[in-house]
Amino acid sequence: MARTRKILRSSVNRALNAIGDRWSQLILEEAFRGATRFEDFRARTGAPRNTLSNRLRSLVANGIFEQRAHREGATRQAYHLTEMGRGLFDSVLIAWCWGIRWDEVSPNGPAGLVHSVCGRSMLPQMVCDHCGGDISLHSCSHRPGPGAGFEEMEVTRLHRRRQPGGGEEAARPPSDVVDMTGDRWTGMVISTQYFGIHRFDDIQANLDIATNILTDRLRALVANGVFERRLYEMSPPRYEYWLTKKGKDLYPHALALLLWADHWLADASGPPVEVIHNACGKLVEASVVCSECKVPLEPQTVAERRPRERAKT
């Protein structure tokens, strides 16, 4: 039997369990761009056949895709996003936005976005459904929800830093959002920051993470500018880890996943964490809107500029 670890219950973890690794996230992006057939996913993501069929199978099993005959009476299957799957568009938009804003555009990500409703270049922006105010790490606070507590998670789920073309523990530090959330430990180390946990020993205790893995992830997060170190003891020198501005800007992405999981993957005990929007005092419900005209964004109204086009503008 696989070894398990006791970790804090988290809707973000539930979401990442359902979405899966980097390949699955690339598949999801292509689905929002209109891909439905196996061969289209293969051509666009570059995933090996076996990998692609595994990931599609688990995305179907997790309720994110449904299979339908490609045409009436055809034997070939097409993969369509379910309503649950379409609910992940907000998190994809926020990941794209972060990449554009911080110049961490992944090879498959857009270098810019245009909203077809207003015709303007824009960035997706997360706003509160109750008061319309901006959602950020500073405008929200957290409290334990009715489902707070610990849960068991399989170690194998957490251990891999899977990347296309590289083995586990590939040398390149995760840089874009897909990389970071595709590596579960990286996502979990970042999330400790939202709860004010900054010291190595405290992070280690909260995640039950091996020290070498934690050291590796912290080094990568400092290298890519998501964390900064702050000296808090002189001899021997000890450091706290704090989110930089770039790191704090990842918060709406985590929140988009949390809200999605609370809606689609809730268990009977309720949400593990409740998020309050400070401006209005209500439990956060959020939408992702166009920064220019404030209309909620949909897959059909968002046009992408791809990285190779960037030089022209």
Q: How far is the CB of 262 from Zn ion (least distance, A)?
A: 17
Residue whose C-alpha is closest to residue 302's, from 81, 123, 133: 123
Q: How far is the CB of 131 from Zn ion (least distance, A)?
A: 3
Kindly state whether residue 114 participates in binding Zn ion, applying the rule CB under 5 A: no
* Structure token digits, residue 133: 């105010």
Q: Which is nearer to Zn ion, 105 or 128 (CB)?
A: 128
Kindly state whether residue 130 participates in binding Zn ion, applying the rule CB under 5 A: yes
Binding flags for Zn ion, 1-40, as an x/- string (CB under 5 A): ----------------------------------------
Q: How far is the CB of 121 from Zn ion (least distance, A)?
A: 9
Q: Which is nearer to Zn ion, 293 or 303 (CB)?
A: 293
Q: How far is the CB of 261 from Zn ion (least distance, A)?
A: 20
Q: How far is the CB of 138 from Zn ion (least distance, A)?
A: 13
Residue whose C-alpha is closest to residue 258's, from 191, 185, 184, 311: 191
Q: Which is nearer to Zn ion, 81 or 128 (CB)?
A: 128
CA contacts within 13 A on the Cβ side of 274: 12
Residue whose C-alpha is closest to residue 109's, from 286, 310, 311: 310
Residue whose C-alpha is closest to residue 82's, from 22, 18, 1: 18
Q: How far is the CB of 90 from Zn ion (least distance, A)?
A: 16
Binding flags for Zn ion, 272-311, as an x/- string (CB under 5 A): -----x-xx---------x-xx------------------
Among 19, 26, 126, 128, which residue sits at the site for Zn ion (rule: CB under 5 A)?
A: 128
| CA 252 to chain CA centroid, nearest Å | 9
Q: How far is the CB of 124 from Zn ion (least distance, A)?
A: 10
Among 115, 162, 184, 217, which residue sits at the site for Zn ion (rule: CB under 5 A)?
A: 115
Q: Which is nearer to Zn ion, 23 or 96 (CB)?
A: 96
Q: Which is nearer to Zn ion, 121 or 206 (CB)?
A: 121
Q: Which is nearer to Zn ion, 82 or 287 (CB)?
A: 287
Residues that bind Zn ion (CB under 5 A): 115, 118, 128, 130-131, 133, 277, 279-280, 290, 292-293
